[in-house]
Amino acid sequence: MSLKPQRSAARAASGLSATGSIDMAFVQHNVQIPGTGYRIDVERFEEVLELSATLRTIVARFREVFMRMALQAVACNALHVVERRLARWVLTTHDRSEADLLLLTQEFLAGMLGVQRGAVNTAARGLQEHGLIDYARGKITILDRAGLEAAACECYALIRGEITKLFPDLTPAPAT
């Protein structure tokens, strides 16, 4: 992840920098899972935001969830073992993708968990030995979601609860 501000010819934004007349991204954004994305010009987004109280509420809630997730991730990375953090990350990704097959490389997971690739391999092997996931060549298949939830640190349930509280209509029911 780059901490150098990046400039482009046009103002661009992602996530939290989508409002407030910010024209530089502080970090690099990576697409984690395949899917469809949408793009809107920053000026147009700000116009729509000004016109829609509903959109302003959603953006405010998104910012709050994002901050809570970021703060919890810092504490989680400092306090919990890699295997439990990996279980949390896999569950979070599963929630967003709703797919049992996740394409997550060791390099990507190492960056997200703040560890070396070897630690990801060891943690994934542990989850695999418990029959929770299958992991091979950047592909994680969830075999036992309930078991994975039990293996994850408490940070997963805490953040999922916050998302459910702030976005009750948008949070899918957990898979069984």
Q: Where are the beta strands (DSSP E) in 31-108?
A: 101-103
Model confidence, pTM: 0.77
Mean pLDDT calculated for residue range 109-113: 90
Structural domain including 161 reads 81-166
Number of domains in the chain: 1
pLDDT in tens, 123-151: 999 999 999 999 998 899 999 999 999 99
Question: Looking at the domain assignment, is residue 176 inside a domain?
Answer: no
Pairwise CA distance, residues 47 & 43, whole Å: 6
Domain annotation covers residue 122: yes
How many other CB atoms are there within 10 angstroms of residue 7's CB atom?
9
134 is a domain residue: yes
Give the model confidence (pLDDT) of 62-88 as tens digits: 888 888 988 998 899 889 999 999 999
In a domain, 56, yes or no: no
Predicted local confidence at residue 15, as pLDDT: 55
**Is 40 within the bounds of a domain?**
no
pLDDT in tens, 31-46: 677 777 777 777 888 8
Cross-strand partners of 142? 133
Averaged pLDDT of the chain: 82
Assigned domain for 19 exists:
no
How open is the CA angle 154-156-158, to the nearest 5 degrees?
70
Q: Does residue 51 fall inside a structural domain?
A: no
Instruction: Pick the most confident of 26-30, 97-101, 107-111, 132-136.
Output: 132-136
Confidence category of residue 7, pLDDT binned at 50, 70, 90: very low
Q: CATH number of the domain that 128 lies in?
A: 1.10.10.10
Q: How many CB atoms lie within 10 A of CB 148?
A: 22
Residue 51, Cβ density class (10 Å: 0-12 exposed, 13-18 middle, ≥19 buried): exposed
Closest C-alpha to 90, from 144, 37, 158, 129: 144
Residue 132 included in any domain: yes
